[in-house]
């Protein structure tokens, strides 16, 4: 988060966690205006163009595909997939 907020021109407007309390805590700590406990809520926002996915490895593929299907640009930590069955 530090690098995104310090060294890039992107504006971080939302954070998502599977726990609303954790999302709220991270948003408060980093000055992020919106916090979500459900990724679908964030992906439904038309004003969000891109998402950065830094979930555990086993969530990369489903989270990444969900964001792509919602029409978002995606930057994802590697690996994107865990096996050949998850190739896009």
CA distances from 22 to 14, 35, 57, 77, 81 (A): 13, 9, 19, 20, 26
Q: Report the 10 Å Cβ neighbour count for 7.
A: 8
- Residue-wise DSSP of 9-47: S----EEE-SSHHHHHHHHHHHT-SEEES-HHHHHT-TT
72 given a catalytic annotation: no
- Which one from 5, 22, 72, 78 is the annotated catalytic residue? 78
Residue numbers annotated as active site: 78
């Amino acid at each position: 988060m530090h690098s995104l907020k310090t060294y890039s021109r992107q504006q971080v407007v939302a954070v998502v966690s599977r726990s609303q309390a954790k999302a709220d805590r991270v948003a408060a700590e980093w000055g992020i205006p919106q916090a979500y406990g459900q990724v679908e809520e964030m992906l439904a926002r038309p004003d969000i163009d891109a998402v950065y996915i830094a979930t555990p490895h086993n969530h990369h593929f489903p989270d990444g595909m969900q964001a792509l299907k919602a029409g978002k640009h995606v930057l994802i930590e590697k690996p994107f997939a865990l096996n050949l069955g998850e190739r896009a």
